[in-house]
Amino acid sequence: MIIAIPLLAAFLTPLIGRISGKARNIFVITSLAFVGFLVIILARDIFLNGLHVYTLGAAEPIPAGYMVPVRIMLEVDSLSIFMGIITATISLIAVIYSFSFMKGETGHNRFYTLLLLLVAGMFGMEFTGDMFNLFVFLEIASISGAALVAFRIRFADSPEGGFKYIVVSAISALMVLFAIGLFYAQYNLLNIGALAQAMQYTMLDKMALAILIAAFAIKLGTVPMHMWLPDTYSVAPASITAMLLAASQASMYALFRICFTLYGVTLNLATVGWIVIVLGLFSMFIGVTMALRQTDLKRLIAYNCVCESGFILLGLGVGLAVLGNPGALATYGTMAISGGIFHMINHALFEGLLFLVAGAIFYRIGTRNLNEMGGLGHLMKFTSILFLLGALASSGIPPFNGFASKILIYESVYQFNPILAIIGILVSIITLAVFMKAFFSAFTGPVLPKYKDVREVPKSMMIGMATLAVIIVLFGLFPGLVREWLTDPAANALINQGAYIEGVMGVVP
């Protein structure tokens, strides 16, 4: 139902919109709120009782007389539902924010239809237990996301951003499909758990691993495949940029699932781990240095997204590199993975807030250029406070959520290689400098005469931003609870390959 409801609602939305725009808005937000309620119920069940497998059209994964699953399945563990929580939260906030932000645009029926399709695609990627359906839901999310980026065609750069997104997504999806073909040719299987059990680590399997890492790194905007990301994120409507960020997290989840569940920690992944570490370091360094020279506020935040994704990859890479080792090093590898997963939700929260604040500024003054701003803090006091809060969280300043996840990454990575931790700390310091520059340019100084009549944004936009801000503060004040209930179970589910396979096959390899 979590996947089916937004999919069905996407097709009902234009019909309801023909009757009444207000009824359409109520229908959309009610659908996503109900989906969020279902996600919470499922999360509680999974955290208490463990992994769930749902077989479409049948009562059991493996029919009588067969040794392998031949049906389409959804397989949800603590990591999957963790990603579902991110998707449900960001999508609901994005819709609330969009009601006012998109009010002056036309084609609202199409907009909310595409938004619901994007939500369905993200949930599908996170809950599917089948490689081919991972590709299908990736395509749904990519096509709807590209249309949403290009939605405001009155801006010349919007179609360009949407075109770049669909081209990059098509290349990534074709690479995923090619890797699936390699698996199917060898094992005659598509189910992730069954493939993990049958995996022989042949040369074709290693080729498929390299292809999949590259494919999802492209979707993440990891350096050196990051060129499309600032051009896309900066031109999309602010609420959609926040959702694209959540969609990139779904691609990050797919990368996690491939490396750990499909290939498993039994394979010597030290080399793969160092490749991911290097990708993360380049993303951190290039992302933050490119952000330094930006005058476009949304491009600045977009480059910071590249940087923050690097921290997540750093945690994942260290985990991959050391989990095969005995003793304390493996413990720190688990901590690095937990820190990376924690930073995923934090990244979605504080970057989402920053994009919404940038959208609020554009909504009022019609420009993203920092050189044309000044004194907005006198006119948009709450917006300026929210921007500062998101900036401090992104920079890893306590007591906000970014500090809680980054300190985990620093501590665990330091045990692996102190130089990597030092680089991470330096990048966070530069990030703080980047956002302080942006804050002073936009919000301090005298009020420019042309902005003297500017006021705060409408209530629905403020509610969306304030909700993210409250979660950021709560996660920063109570990180232990977040780790206990969300990130540590997700990390353990990721590392425990056998439980995922047993959910489908009934036996641990």
Report pLDDT digits (tens) over 391-410: 999 999 998 999 999 999 99
Ramachandran category for residue 124: left, alpha or beta (phi over 0 → left; psi -120 to 50 → alpha): alpha
Nearest to 31 by CA among 49, 5, 55: 5
* Of the candidate ranges 185-194, 270-279, 345-354, 461-470, the one whose mean pLDDT is the lowest: 270-279
Torsion (CA) 310, 312, 317, 322 in degrees, nearest 10 = 140
Mean pLDDT within 168-184 = 94
**What is the phi/psi pair of residue 53, to 5°?**
-120, 130
Mean pLDDT within 165-183 = 94
Residue 507's pLDDT band, with cuts at 50, 70 and 90, is low
CA distance linking residue 11 with residue 272, whole number of Å: 42
Report pLDDT digits (tens) over 225-238: 888 999 999 999 99
pLDDT at residue 415 tops 90: no
How is the chain split into domains, by residue range? 1-265, 268-477
pLDDT (0 to 100) of residue 276: 85
pLDDT at residue 290 tops 60: yes
pLDDT (0 to 100) of residue 247: 93
CA distance linking residue 317 with residue 311, whole number of Å: 10
| CA dist 201 → 59, 183, 275, 499 (Å) | 32, 11, 18, 20
pLDDT at residue 357 tops 60: yes
* Comparison of pLDDT for 395 and 72, the residue scoring more: 395
Residue 494's pLDDT band, with cuts at 50, 70 and 90, is confident
CA distance linking residue 287 with residue 292, whole number of Å: 9
Contact 211, 173 (CB under 8 A): no
Average pLDDT, the chain: 90
pLDDT (0 to 100) of residue 355: 95
Report pLDDT digits (tens) over 112-122: 999 999 999 99
* Of the candidate ranges 44-58, 69-83, 264-278, the one whose mean pLDDT is the lowest: 264-278
Strands, E, within 13-146: which ranges?
A: 52-55, 73-76
Please list the residues that pair with 73 across neighbouring strands: 55
Residue 50's pLDDT band, with cuts at 50, 70 and 90, is confident
pLDDT at residue 274 tops 60: yes
pLDDT at residue 325 tops 90: no
CA distance linking residue 201 with residue 198, whole number of Å: 9
pLDDT (0 to 100) of residue 509: 41
pLDDT (0 to 100) of residue 157: 86
CA distance linking residue 317 with residue 276, whole number of Å: 5
State pTM to two decimals: 0.93
pLDDT (0 to 100) of residue 275: 85
Residue 508's pLDDT band, with cuts at 50, 70 and 90, is very low
